[in-house]
Amino acid sequence: MRITQEAKQQNRKRILQVAASLFSEQGYGKTTTRDISTACKMAKGTLFNYFPSKETLAMTMVAEAMEEGRERYLERRAGEESLVEELFLLVASELRALRPYRLYIGPVLESGMSVFAKEACCPAGEQARRAHLETVAAILAAHHYELVPESIAVTLYWSLYLGILAHWSKDTSSHQQATLSLLDYSMKVFAVTISGSLPEV
Amino acid sequence: MHPVLDTSLTKISCRRIPSSSLIRSWCLGSTNARLAATYISYAIQKNFLAKDQQELAASRAKLKAAIQLFGTMGYLRGAVMKVGQLLANLPQVMDRELIEIFESLQFEAPPMHYSLIREVFLDELGREPEELFASFDRQAFAAASLGQVHRARLADGTRVAVKIQYPDMARTIESDFKTLGLLLKTIRFKESYRYLFAHILDAKEVFSRELDYLSEAAYMERNRRLFAGTEIVVPRSFPDYSSKRVLTMEYLPGKHLPAFLGADPGQEQRNHFGRLISLALVRSFFRCKTVYADLHPGNFIFMADGRLGFLDFGCFRRFSPQRWQVQADSEEAMFSQDQDKLRDFLARLSFHDSPEELDPQWVELMFRQIQWVVSPITTRGPFDFADGAYVAEGVELFKESLVLGYSRTDSFYNWLNRAILGHRSMMYRLGSVFDYSRLYLEEMRGASSSEGSPEL
C-alpha cells in the first residue's frame, strides 16, 4: 500500500513524540526500538524505514530542538548585542528548546556529536553540528571575525559547547543556573581566545 | 572613576562568578586573596589576625591592597562582597580613601549582560523583561552583593527598580563558607574554634536567607507599615513582577551618601538625615525585634524633599523571645550602670554559668565598650557623632578587641555590633549632631507601650 507524503510526515512526527515520552518515562538506555514501535502500533521494520537506529531517532529529536532554538534566537536578537552576549543568546535559546530532552541528552550526544568523531555517526548529528556552527560563523562575521572550518577555533568552540551541554544535562541547580554561569564564562573564554584581547561585554 | 579601578572592573567583568569551592580556594591562594582572607577574618572574628596585620601602615600600600582586594571581591562576589560592604562601614579600621574604594564596590560591581538577565526572567517569571514592563533599562544602575538593579516602568507608568540576583548565588555562598571553614581549620585546636564556627554557620544562615527575594519583599512590606506617616520611605514591592530571584519595587529618586556629601550639605540637613537613619535602625530594632544587619550607605537614598529612602531588607536577624528578654535586661543594666547585672548579662552572652568564670580582661574591655555604645543615649541633648575624642575611643576599643580576639559570644552580639558600628560610622561621615538619646528612649518606650498590640 502506498502512503502519502503527508501520512509519512505524520508517522515520523508520531514516532518522535512517542519516543520522547518513552525516553522520559523509562530512560534512554532502557528504551528499545521494539518498545517504540510497539507503542506506535507499527512493525519494527516500518520504524526502521523512518529511523535506522535509536541513536539516529534521538539525535533527530535533539537536532530539531536545536533548530527550533536557533529560530528563537533569531527572533530574540536585537542586533545590538556584543559578541559574548550574542553567542550566549544563541546557546541559551537552544538550551531552552532542548529542555524536554535534558535528562537523556548526554548519551544521545555521545553517540551523535562526539568531539572525538571526525564526523558524527549519524547524518542528523552532523547536520545539526554544521547548522549550529554556521550560525556561530554568522555571528562572528557580524562582529568582524572569521570562523575558518576545521580550525582550532572551531574545535575550541565545539568543545566548549559540548562541555556546556554535558554540564547542563547534570546540573542540579535551580533552573540550571550554574549552567548559565558556565555558558557566560565559556563564551567569554572563546571571545578572548579569538580576539586575543578582552571582549566587550 | 579611578583608572586603576576602571581596568580592574573590566578584567573582573570578563570572569565568571566562580562557584566551586576548589576554584574559590584557589582564588583564595592568590596574592589578592591572602589579603581578602585577612579582611574576612577581621569580619568573622579576630583570631586570624596576625599582629602585624594591624599595621596596614602607609596609605599608599593600603590603597594598593584595597584595589587588589577589590579585584578579588568583584570576582568572588557573594558572601565575600558582603564582608567588603561591612568593612566599608568601619572608619575605625579604614581610612577615607579605602572607604571610597569600597563604595565603588557597593555601587559598581561588574554587571550581568542583558542576554543573561533575559534568561533569569524567563526562568523566574516566564516572560522576558520587555514583555513584562512598558520599558526596561538594559543597563543596571546599581549593583548589590547578590544582584544588580535596573530601572523599569510598569504599564501604568509607575517607575520601578528591579533587583535581579546573579545566577547560582546559593552555591556561591555555600562554597564561600566552605572555604572559610577550611581556613578556620588551621585553628581547630584552639578553644575559640567552636564559637567561631558557630558564628560562621549563623552568618551563612542569614546570608542564605537573603537569597530569597520573596522573603525580603515580605519584610520590606512590614517595614513600610512600620514607617508609614514618617519621613522614612520604604519602597512598595510588586508581587506580580517578583519572584525568589527578581524583586520589583517602587523606584525612589535621590542621592546616595557620597553624592549627598559631595553637594556640601548644611549642618541642619546632616542632622536631619542622621536622625532619620537612626530612626530607621532603632525603630525596626524595638518594634520588629530584629537587627537590621545591612546598615551601609548603599541602602539609603537622600531624597530632594528631605525624606529618606530605606532600601534593601534582605539581611536581618530576628531575636527569639528569650534572647530579646536578655537584650532588654542588658539595656536596663547598661543605662542604670548596674555592674552586677551587667556581669550577669556578659556571662549569659558568653555561655558561662556564672560571672565568676568570666575573663576579667574581657569584662573590663566590654564595660568600656558598653560605655562607648550607650554614651550617645546617656548623654542628654545633642550628641556630636563626629566628635574626634568619641571616634578615637571607638577606634581604640575596636583595636583592643581585635588584639584580644575573644569569640566566645552568642551570634546576636555580632549582628548587633555590626549594626551599631554601621550606624556610628554613617553618623560620623554625615557629621550629625542631634539628640539621639531622646530618639532612642522614645522609641524604646513607644515599643513597650505597643506591646500586645497586633503585630505589624
What's the structural domain count of chain B?
Answer: 2
The domain in which residue A173 lies consists of 54-195
Which residues of chain B lie closer than 8 angstroms to A185, CB-CB? Answer: 15-16
Mean pLDDT of chain B: 76
Establish if A201 belongs to a structural domain.
Answer: no
In a domain, B397, yes or no: yes
**CB-CB: which of A85, A88, A201 is closest to B14?**
A201
- The amino acid present at A78, given as its one-letter code, is A
Domain boundary among A51, A69, A84: A51
pLDDT of residue B204: 78
B107, B122, B138 - which closes a domain:
B107
What does the pLDDT average to over B224-253? 96
Residue A47 and residue A58 in one domain: no
The one-character DSSP state at A28 is: T
**CA dihedral defined by B341, B347, B353, B354, rounded to 10 degrees?**
-50
Residue B85 domain-assigned (yes or no): yes
Chain A residues in contact with B122 by the CB 8 A cut-off are 96
Least confident of B127-141, B313-327, B363-377: B313-327
Q: What does the angle CA A122 – CA A128 – CA A133 come to, to the nearest 5 degrees? A: 130
Q: Which three cell numbers stand for residue A187?
A: 563564551
CATH number where A42 lies: 1.10.10.60
Taking CA–CA distances from A93, the nearest residue in chain B reads: B119
Q: Which of B78, B107, B136 is the last residue of a domain?
A: B107
Q: Are both A110 and A44 inside the same structural domain?
A: no
10-residue block means of pLDDT along chain A (201 residues)? 79 90 88 91 86 88 95 95 96 96 86 64 83 95 86 89 93 91 88 70 39
Establish if A200 belongs to a structural domain: no
Tell me phi and psi for residue B355, to 5 degrees. -60, -25
How is B11-57 classified by DSSP, letter by letter?
HHHTS----SHHHHHHHHTSHHHHHHHHHHHHHH-STT--GGGG---
Same domain? A12 vs A82? no
pLDDT tens track for B293-322: 777 788 899 999 999 999 988 888 888 888
Angle at B450 between CA B439 and CA B454, to 5 degrees: 135
Q: Are residues A9 and A100 in the same domain?
A: no
| Facing residue for B16 by CB, picked from A175, A177, A182 | A182
> What's the pLDDT score for residue B135?
97
For residue B21, being part of any structural domain is answered with: yes
Q: Please check whether residues A151 and A82 belong to one and the same domain.
A: yes
Q: What is the structure's pLDDT at B90?
A: 42
Domain contains B446: yes
Q: Assess A175–B contact: CB distance below 8 Å, yes or no.
A: yes
Same domain, A89 and A185: yes
The domain total for chain A is 2
| Cα radius of gyration rounded to whole Å, chain A | 18
For B38-97, the pLDDT digits (tens) are 444 333 333 333 334 444 444 444 444 544 444 444 434 444 555 555 444 444 344 454
Task: Choose from A167, A174, A179, A183 for mutation: most chain B CBs within 10 A.
Answer: A174
pLDDT reading at B390 higher than 90: no
DSSP for B136-200, written as a single string: E-SS-SEE-SSEEEEEEE-TT--EEEEEEEPTTHHHHHHHHHHHHHHHHHTTTTSTTHHHHHHHH
Q: Which residues of B touch A84 (CB under 8 A)?
A: 113
Q: Is residue B154 part of a domain?
A: no
Helix (H) or strand (E) holding B246: strand B246-250
Looking at the fold, whether A84 and A165 belong to one and the same domain comes out as yes
**Chain B residues lying within 8 Å of A82, measured CB to CB:** 113
Nearest Cα residue in chain B from A95 = B119
End of a domain among B79, B107, B135? B107
Q: What is the pLDDT of residues B275-284, one digit of tens each?
A: 999 999 999 9
Query: How many angstroms away from the CA of B297 is the closest CA of chain A?
Result: 28
Asked if the Cβ–Cβ distance from A174 to B170 is below 8 Å, we say: yes
Indicate whether A66 and A121 sit together in one domain.
yes
**Inter-chain Cβ pairs, chain A and chain B, closer than 8 A:** 60
Q: Are residues A37 and A82 in the same domain?
A: no
> Nearest-CA distance from B318 to chain A in Å?
27
CB pair distance less than 8 Å for B11 and A198: yes
For B233-260, letters b (16+ CB in 10 Å) and e give bbbebbeebbbebbbbbbbbebbbbbeb
Share of chain B above pLDDT 90, in %: 37
Which of A88, A174, A178 shows the shortest C-beta gap to B116? A88
Does residue B117 surpass a pLDDT of 70? yes
- CB-based contact B116 A180, cutoff 8 Å: yes
Q: Which residue is it, cell 575573663?
A: B359
Domain co-membership, A141 together with A102: yes
Contacts of B130 in chain A (CB under 8 A): none
Is the distance from CB of A184 to CB of A88 less than 8 angstroms?
yes
Residue to test with chain A: of B6, B119, B174, most A Cβ within 10 A: B119
Collect all residues from B whose CB is shorter than 8 A from any CB in A: 10-11, 13-17, 19, 113-116, 118-120, 122-124, 128, 167-168, 170-171
pLDDT given for residue B26 in this prediction = 39
Model confidence pLDDT, tens digit, residues B400-436: 776 676 777 887 887 888 788 889 888 988 999 999 9
Which of A85, A96, A181 comes nearest B114 by C-beta?
A: A85
> How many angstroms separate the CA of residue A109 from the nearest CA in chain B?
24
B-interface mutation test, from A94, A164, A179, A180, most B Cβ less than 10 A away: A180
Does A77 touch chain B if contact means CB atoms closer than 8 Å?
A: no
Smallest CA–CA separation between B139 and chain A, in Å?
12
Extract the C-alpha cell encoding B418: 555590626
Do residue A11 and residue A67 come from a single domain?
Answer: no
| B337: containing domain | 255-451
pLDDT class of B162 with cuts at 50, 70, 90: very high
Question: By the CB < 8 Å criterion, does A99 face chain B?
Answer: no
Facing residue for A92 by CB, picked from B10, B13, B115? B115
Whether residues A106 and A170 share a domain: the answer is: yes
Query: Which of A96-110, B99-113, B144-158, B324-338 is the least confident region?
Result: B99-113
Summarised one tens digit per residue, pLDDT across range A138-194 is 999 999 988 887 788 888 999 999 999 999 999 998 899 989 988 988 898 899 888
pLDDT reported for residue B403: 64
Of the candidates B166, B149, B165, B167, the one whose C-alpha atom is nearest the C-alpha of residue B250 is B149
Does the beta-carbon distance from A177 to B116 stay under 8 Å?
A: no
Nearest CA in chain A to B114: A85
B249-259 mean pLDDT: 94
Are B303 and B309 within 8 A, CB to CB?
Answer: yes
Q: What integer pLDDT is reported at residue B66 of this predicted model?
A: 47
| Distance (Å, whole) CA B250 – CA B151 | 10
User: What does the pLDDT average to over B396-401?
Assistant: 74
B188 pLDDT exceeds 70? no
Q: Is residue B399 part of a domain?
A: yes
Min distance B407 CA to chain A CA atoms (Å):
35
